[in-house]
Structure 1
Amino acid sequence: MPAETMIGLIGTGMLGRAILRGWLDSGIDPARLLVCNRSGSRDGVPKAVALTTEPSTLAQRCDAILLCVPPASVPDLALHAPDKLILSVMAGATRDQLSDLTGSPRVIRAMSSPAAGRRLAYSPWIASPDTTPEDRAIAKALFEAIGKTDEVSDEAHIDLFTAMTGPVPGFAAYFAALMARHATAQGVAPEIADRAVRQLFLASGEMLANDPMTPEQHVRQMIDYAGTTAAGLLAMETSPIQQAVAEGLQAAADKARTIV
């Protein structure tokens, strides 16, 4: 990403603040950032970062603009930026809708998560045909600054990732809660069950992130070992859990496609 590129961020909700924090922690110069929100609130916006309440001001000054507002705010977003690179992490807003909204043919649609504030987000993205190699390089740099990223080839996959990796801790928290409930039902003190499950998911996340084996390979290895975990995994494999997870993710993805 060229050192002189000016980046605009519209929206300072939970996700917007997290992305801004991740960018700054990654070493992006605050002088290259301009943030816009309608209220003018500096909540989560450091003094070193310029702030405006006018999208038009941001559009004039910035080379690339990341839209990070709730889907319900899309109709009220007055942003005319036909010669700018538009990036978006708004759930459900398609590349065509984003182009119509801003007037720009250079659109990159993505999804991220509040884990961006810890530089742990997964941010897949897809570019419109009119984006340039330089545009793609900017997107890659901005999303790598807050975690891991991939360019995908099917826009429908952005809705899938909106459901699957956009909510953090999201579905992982649900499974952790189920395990904690089981432990407390067996008489374990709630605070101990909570501590145990938190540590389990911390350790599991570290291993899954850094070990060369895929999650599927981890599962097969445990089943092949034929120990206590294998007994549990085999019982789960013959239960309705796989279908239930698929139905839950599909319901979330379907919501993402109709939320705007």
Structure 2
Amino acid sequence: MSMKDYTIAFLGAGSMAEAIIAGMTSKEMVPSDRIIATNHSNKERLTALENKYGIRTSQSREDVVSQSDIIILAMKPKDIQSAIAEVKDFLSDSKIVVSLLAGISTQYIEQLLETNNAVVRVMPNTSAMIGQSASTITGGQYVDFSTVGLIKNLMTSIGTTTLIQEEEMDAYTALAGSAPAFYYYMVEAMEKFVEEQGLNKETAKPLMAQTIKGVAEMLATTDDTPTTLREKITSPGGTTEAGIKTLGQHEFQQAVIACLQRTTERSKELREMFEK
């Protein structure tokens, strides 16, 4: 069965759902008339998506699920119980459930469904909006390799997808899911430097963006470690070394590690809170 033969439902029509819809339609992975979206009450939002991408929409979750092969949970995590309660009776065994919900395990979704449906969990990040997400994916107890492969392929519509173990998801949420905000936060500091130096913001912004893009490409395409790459441009007594030493004096690496640790802990806390 080709990807184009699947009908895909989105329960929730927010920005992440739109990013995936945009990726699938622009790359012609799935015909627009085989994509159906619904949400709780915002009909204007559904109409906007229908007009922009040519997809089908409905305000009936039951109808959407009944017509679909793959059901993507894209609502707010707090709405998971009510959403599944509405649709679980319409899930035949062959339907695949894909969750984009932070802090919600496949085991918990399986418990809510009370079925043997395959449940796949995907954690994209906001760069999905431009097709550059670094997504992680893991499968529940009823998932086979072919199903994971199918959803992994589907998610290439918004960037890269890496298969992980579910117990690793909290840490990878920090490294990939939340990490764009941390990089933006560092750039915010650089913007303050731009202001202090009286530099032109319009000139500085593309330079900063291209520098980050270049660093990302170097990390992705060379065999050198980050340490080696840093050392190659840190000449003794030079400007870069002076900056690195200042970061060290302010315990920059320790702050980053603490940030990632706390993000991981919070992901665990949210999961425990949702699954009580």
TM-score tier (shorter): 0.7 to 0.9
* Partner residue, 2:172: 161
Name the counterpart of 1:217. Answer: 228
> Counterparts in 2 of 1:94-243, with a 5 A limit?
94-105=105-116, 106-153=118-165, 155-167=166-178, 169-223=180-234, 225-226=235-236, 227-243=238-254
Q: Relative to structure 1, is the Cα distance of residues 47 and 15 closer, same or farther in structure 2, using a 3 angstrom cutoff?
A: closer
After superposition, the C-alpha distances for 1:80-112 in whole angstroms (9 at most, x for unaligned) are 136221111100001111112333431111200
Aligned to 1:10: 11
**1:148 counterpart SS class:** strand
Aligned partner of 1:35 in structure 2 is 37
For the Cα contact (< 8 Å) 1:85–1:104, is it kept in 2? Answer: no
Q: Distance in 1 between matches of 2:74 and 2:172?
A: 16
Q: State the Cα distance separating 1:172 from its structure 2 match.
A: 1.0
Tell me what 1:248 maps to. Answer: 259
Residue 55 of structure 2 is aligned with which of 49, 55, 79? 49
Q: Is 1:65 matched up with 2:71?
A: yes
- Taking a change above 3 Å as real, the CA distance of residues 20 and 168 of structure 1, as seen in their structure-2 partners, is farther
Aligned to 2:27: 26
Could you say if the C-alpha distance between residues 104 and 86 of structure 1 is closer, same or farther in structure 2, counting changes exceeding 3 Å? farther
Indicate the larger mover: 186-195 or 143-152: 186-195
Paired with 2:61 and 2:268, the residues of 1 have a C-alpha distance of 26
Report the 3-state secondary structure (helix = DSSP H, G, I; strand = E; otherwise coil) of the residue aligned with 1:79: helix
Structure 1 residues 88 and 200, CA gap change in structure 2 (3 angstroms): same
Whichever residue aligns with residue 22 of structure 1, its letter is G
Q: Report the CA distance between 1:47 and its aligned residue.
A: 5.2
Deviations 1:116-146 (A, max 9, x none): 2321111111111321222112111111221
Identity percentage of aligned residues: 23
Query: Higher mean Cα deviation, 134-143 or 205-214?
Result: 205-214
Aligned pair count reads 258
SS in structure 2 at match of 1:165: helix
Secondary structure class of the residue paired with 2:98: strand
Q: Alpha-carbon deviations, 1:62-84, whole Å to 9, x = none?
A: 11111111112223213313622
| Counterparts of 2:169 and 2:110, CA distance in 1 | 17
Residue 87 of structure 2 aligns to a residue in which SS? coil
> What TM-score do the two structures reach when normalised by structure 1?
0.87
C-alpha separation between the residues in 2 aligned to 1:42 and 1:203? 39
Cα gap change, 1:79 to 1:86, in 2 (>3 Å)? same
Q: For the structure 1 residues 132 and 214, does the alpha-carbon distance in structure 2 shift closer, same or farther, using more than 3 Å as the test?
A: same
**Unaligned runs of at least 5 residues, structure 1:** none
